């Protein structure tokens, strides 16, 4: 575990799981030390060194959470700042700046779609949850489009979003509102205490990104919970792929069934939880369980997903002080948030308990 | 030398869903030279000790290099430990193989 060269005897007895939390939450110096100790080769990539870790601060009040520095106190004034770059089919990030905040459309559908999508996600978090950008402190939303050649992926790299064009066969684009909301919500998780990207905590990280990606799309389209199709990445699959989306929150496991991609492997219940070492312990597979719980909760309550259900999920993320949270930990936290917001015997709490029970998590 | 590249992870959890089996000796120049340099087992071995990647939805590359008379060398490399030019080379190889 410890670096043989710049060994630090104070931290070498610290177990890896603690180092990973320190890397995630520590100030710049602490994060760098934790990263160095985790990195057996002591080679920290230049791009990662540039990422400034932000400390989590205790919020006051009866049920304090740990929140990003910029989230303390009242929401700041609206401060949307976007930068869209063209990766020009190369791997280097961020690429050539093509549209900054307030610039007119470029005429490039991907660049303009990423710009508009980032605005929709910012609006969701600012107007509904009082959060000023991903870090709560107004950070610039940086995105790169046309990332790499025929690249079949979109991701959050710790400080920006990147979208490939897709090769046309499997994916035709990644510029879709729920996908943009998904990637940016990984940033919100990162700056809200973090969820380690493996196993159940990783699946929760994925689920939070899907939940808020879905909310972004539903809010933009003005669809309530009962009218929505609850698909993530609707329409991004290639024309020859037998499927409608990447994932379905309404019916996990039914988004696609294709000769090339196989069957959508997402479970909707803990009885079908998938134990695997692939994909960081199945983070994109088992996220179907908390995804479905959120869907059920929205259906029980009716109205808009970004209303009561979104508020409960967002509050739970802010108050969850456990980067290694299990599904049970998360479900418990959402119930505690619902109790805090609506009262012990409220309809909002009873519906939430019922939703979790239906996916096999009795709270 | 034969190189096989598969992937996992990504936003869908199933990687890039593209596989490349490359007979390096059949590659045209300069692709051949660049592949020999960047995907040489010794070069890849120097990359795999990187720490866990930050971010989400990243790709993991599973690269198997088979050299004549030697046991296969297997590498599982998150894209975060691969330099940009190596990622560009992989894209070029995937493209080359798909057009064959």
Can you say whether residue A136 is alpha, beta or left, with left for phi > 0 and alpha for psi between -120 and 50 degrees?
left
Q: Could you list the active site residues of A?
A: 183, 284
In this structure, the number of other CB atoms found within 10 A of the CB of residue A287 comes to: 29
Nearest CA to A218 among A232, A203, A204, A237?
A232
Q: What are the C-alpha distances in Å from A17 to residues A1, A13, A22, A38, A323?
A: 11, 12, 9, 10, 9
User: With 90 as the cut, is the pLDDT of residue A300 above it?
Assistant: yes
A197-212 tens-digit pLDDT? 999 999 999 999 999 9
Give the separation between CA A238 and CA B37, rounded to whole angstroms: 34
Q: Give the pLDDT score at A44.
A: 35
Chain A to chain B Cβ contacts (< 8 Å): 111
Complex prediction ipTM: 0.91
CB < 8 Å to A89, chain B: 91
Which member of A148, A155, A278 has the closest CB to residue B8?
A278
The distance of A344 to chain B (nearest Cα, Å) reads 35
Q: What percent of chain A has pLDDT over 70?
A: 82
Q: Which of A109-113, A321-325, B64-68 tops mean pLDDT? A: A109-113
Which member of B56, B58, B87 has the closest CB to residue A148?
B87
Which member of A151, A158, A284 has the closest CB to residue B13?
A284
Kindly give, in sequence order, each residue whose CB lies less than 8 Å from that of residue A159, ignoring residues fewer than 6 positions away.
Answer: A50, A51, A142
Backbone angles phi, psi at A232, to 5 degrees: -105, 120
Burial (Cβ within 10 Å: 0-12, 13-18, ≥19) of residue B66 = middle
* Dihedral angle, C-alpha A36, A42, A48, A54, nearest 10 °: 10
Q: Which of A22-26, A276-280, B51-55 tops mean pLDDT? A: A276-280
Comparing alpha-carbon positions, the chain A residue that sits nearest to B49 is A41
Q: What are the C-alpha distances in Å from A126 to residues A280, A318, B40?
A: 31, 15, 49
Positive or negative: CA dihedral A287, A293, A299, A302: negative
Peptide bond between residue A92 and the one before it cis (omega within 30 degrees of 0):
no
Q: What are the C-alpha distances in Å from A46 to residues A51, A226, B80?
A: 9, 47, 11
B48-100 tens-digit pLDDT? 655 555 799 999 999 999 998 889 999 999 999 999 999 999 999 998 888 87
Positive or negative: CA dihedral A253, A190, A82, B10: negative
Cα A185-A186-A188 angle, rounded to 5 deg: 60
Bridge pairing between strands A96-100 and A82-86? antiparallel
Tell me the whole-structure pTM to 2 decimals: 0.88
Asked if B11 and A158 come within 8 Å (Cβ–Cβ), the reply is no
Kindly give, in sequence order, each residue whose CB lies less than 8 Å from that of residue A275, ignoring residues fewer than 6 positions away.
Answer: A282
Q: Give the pLDDT score at A302.
A: 97
Q: Which of B17, B46, B62, B99 to mutate to test the interface with A (most CBs of A within 10 A)?
A: B17
CB < 8 Å to B13, chain A: 265, 278-279, 282-285
State the helix-helix crossing angle for A279-286 and A288-301, rounded to 10 degrees: 20
Comparing alpha-carbon positions, the chain A residue that sits nearest to B13 is A284
Asked if A284 and B95 come within 8 Å (Cβ–Cβ), the reply is no
Bridge pairing between strands A231-232 and A247-248? antiparallel
Q: What is the mean pLDDT of chain A?
A: 87
Burial (Cβ within 10 Å: 0-12, 13-18, ≥19) of residue A351 = buried
């Amino acid at each position: 575990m410890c670096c043989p060269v710049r060994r630090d005897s104070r931290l070498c007895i610290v177990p890896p799981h603690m180092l990973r939390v320190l890397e995630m939450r520590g100030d710049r110096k602490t994060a760098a030390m934790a990263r160095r100790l985790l990195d057996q080769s002591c080679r920290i990539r230049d791009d990662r060194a540039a990422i400034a870790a932000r400390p989590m601060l205790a919020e006051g009040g009866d049920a304090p959470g740990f929140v990003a520095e910029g989230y303390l106190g009242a929401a700041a004034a609206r401060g949307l700042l976007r930068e869209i770059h063209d990766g020009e089919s190369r791997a280097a990030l961020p690429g050539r700046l093509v549209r900054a905040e307030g610039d007119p459309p470029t005429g490039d559908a991907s660049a303009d779609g990423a710009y508009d999508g980032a605005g929709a996600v910012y609006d969701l978090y600012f107007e509904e949850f009082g959060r000023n950008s991903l870090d709560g402190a107004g950070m610039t939303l940086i995105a790169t489009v046309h990332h790499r050649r025929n690249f079949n992926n979109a991701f959050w790299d710790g400080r920006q979003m990147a979208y490939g064009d897709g090769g046309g066969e499997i994916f035709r684009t990644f510029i879709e509102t729920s996908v943009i909301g998904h990637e940016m919500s990984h940033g919100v998780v990162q700056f809200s205490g973090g969820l380690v990207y493996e196993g159940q905590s990783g699946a929760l990280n994925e689920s939070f990104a899907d939940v808020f990606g879905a909310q972004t799309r539903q809010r933009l389209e003005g669809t309530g919970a009962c009218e929505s199709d609850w698909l993530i990445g609707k329409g991004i699959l290639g024309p020859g792929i037998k499927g409608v989306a990447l994932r379905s929150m309404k019916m996990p496991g039914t988004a696609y069934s294709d000769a090339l991609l196989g069957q959508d492997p997402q479970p909707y219940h803990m009885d079908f939880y998938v134990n695997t070492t692939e994909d960081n312990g199945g983070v994109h597979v088992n996220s179907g369980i908390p995804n479905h719980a959120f869907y059920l909760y929205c259906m029980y309550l009716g109205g808009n997903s970004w209303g009561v259900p979104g508020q409960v999920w967002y509050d739970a993320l802010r108050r969850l002080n456990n980067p290694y949270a299990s599904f049970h930990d998360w479900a418990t936290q959402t119930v505690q948030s619902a109790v805090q917001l609506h009262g012990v015997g409220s309809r909002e709490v009873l519906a939430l308990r019922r939703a979790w029970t239906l996916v096999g998590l009795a709270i | 030398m034969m190189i096989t590249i598969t992937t996992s992870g990504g936003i869908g959890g199933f990687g890039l869903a593209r596989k490349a089996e490359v007979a390096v000796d059949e590659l045209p120049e300069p692709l051949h030279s660049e592949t020999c340099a960047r995907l040489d087992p010794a070069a890849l071995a120097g990359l795999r000790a990187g720490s866990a990647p930050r971010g989400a939805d990243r790709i993991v590359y599973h690269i198997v290099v088979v050299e004549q008379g030697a046991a296969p060398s297997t590498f599982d490399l998150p894209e975060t430990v691969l330099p940009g030019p190596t990622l560009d080379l992989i894209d070029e190889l995937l493209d080359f193989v798909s057009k064959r």
